[in-house]
Structure 1
Amino acid sequence: MDDGPRGATGYVDGFLIPVLPDRKEAYFAMARKASPMFQEHGATRIVEAWGDDVPAGQVTDFYRAVHAEDRENIVFSWVEWPDKTARDAGMKRITADERMKTPPAEMPFDGKRMIFGGFTPILDQ
């Protein structure tokens, strides 16, 4: 999923998420539902990417980073914002949004193993 225009990005939230292959569609259904809400609250672009060439490393890798269990794949995701101020205000509104109060009947991933962080771009071409 790649939802939103490409362009200059002032701030990025990045995510690594372990997801079982049989939960892939449930995960992307959840992402498709959340994407418009993020855009309503100021995000300019949301990308959800299913790993298809994610090698196992000798010391560390994406799987180890999220403590992936047997058969889990990696989702690499990011949300682009105009700037950090817009992101901070948008995330505050998102967490208060009533639509966030009702999670899916069954979460398609283990949120305790999701890795996330905010980043200021140093190169955006």
Structure 2
Amino acid sequence: MGRYVDGFVLAVPNEKLDAYREIAAEAGKLWIEHGALEYVEAVGDDVEPDTEGMPMRTFPELAEAGDDDTVVFSFIVFESREHRDEVNAKVMEDPEMSPERFEEGGEMPFDGARMAYGGFRSIVDYEG
């Protein structure tokens, strides 16, 4: 059976990127601590490539990113969907994820309405 991946694409205002990075670093540690196999947060570097006329949406279009935003692509790898559900339940029960903790620092450094999220079952899975 292949692995399971939770994937995210979102736009983060450039002036809030450092705050996002801090939250992401803390979240990554929690997911790994509770059993995730891998946790990756990546900022856009080549998000509007030349597709030589082939029509496709870009990540900035998907995330409705403006000129003052950075596109972030993130994923968390699990053994299976069941494993994902177990790990996510543990993370959500962890005191480090309490809503009060986030309220102390103010609002989240991104607009959740411009975030895409989903769980994906792998159909091809190679490792080097």
TM class by shorter-chain length? 0.7 to 0.9
* 1:55 aligns to 2:48 (yes or no): yes
Give the root-mean-square deviation of aligned CA atoms: 2.1
Residue of structure 2 equivalent to 1:115: 116
Residue of structure 1 equivalent to 2:65: 68
Displacement, 1:59? 5.8
Deviates more, 1:41-50 or 1:54-63: 54-63
Report the structure number with the largest CA radius of gyration: 2
Displacement, 1:28? 1.0
User: 1: CA distance between counterparts of 2:17 and 2:23?
Assistant: 10
What letter is aligned with 1:15?
F
User: 2: CA distance between counterparts of 1:120 and 1:69?
Assistant: 31
For the 8 Å contact 2:7–2:118, the answer to whether it is kept is yes
Task: Give SS of 1:107's match.
Answer: coil
Deviates more, 1:83-92 or 1:61-70: 61-70
Q: How many residues align?
A: 118
Q: TM-score of the superposition, structure 1-length normalised?
A: 0.83
Alignment of structure 1 residues 23-42 onto 2, 5 Å: 23-42=16-35
For the 8 Å contact 2:2–2:123, the answer to whether it is kept is no
Q: Which aligned segments of 4 or more residues in structure 1 are displaced greater than 4 angstroms?
A: 56-59
Task: Give SS of 1:70's match.
Answer: coil
Deviates more, 1:95-104 or 1:24-33: 95-104
Residue of structure 2 equivalent to 1:124: 125
What letter is aligned with 1:107?
M
User: 2: CA distance between counterparts of 1:20 and 1:28?
Assistant: 12
User: 1: CA distance between counterparts of 2:29 and 2:57?
Assistant: 34
Gaps of 5+ in 2: none
For the 8 Å contact 1:11–1:84, the answer to whether it is kept is yes
Deviates more, 1:50-59 or 1:36-45: 50-59
Alignment of structure 1 residues 81-120 onto 2, 5 Å: 81-101=78-98, 102-103=101-102, 104-120=105-121
Aligned-pair identity in percent equals 37
User: 2: CA distance between counterparts of 1:59 and 1:117?
Assistant: 20
Residue of structure 2 equivalent to 1:3: none
Task: Give SS of 2:10's match.
Answer: strand
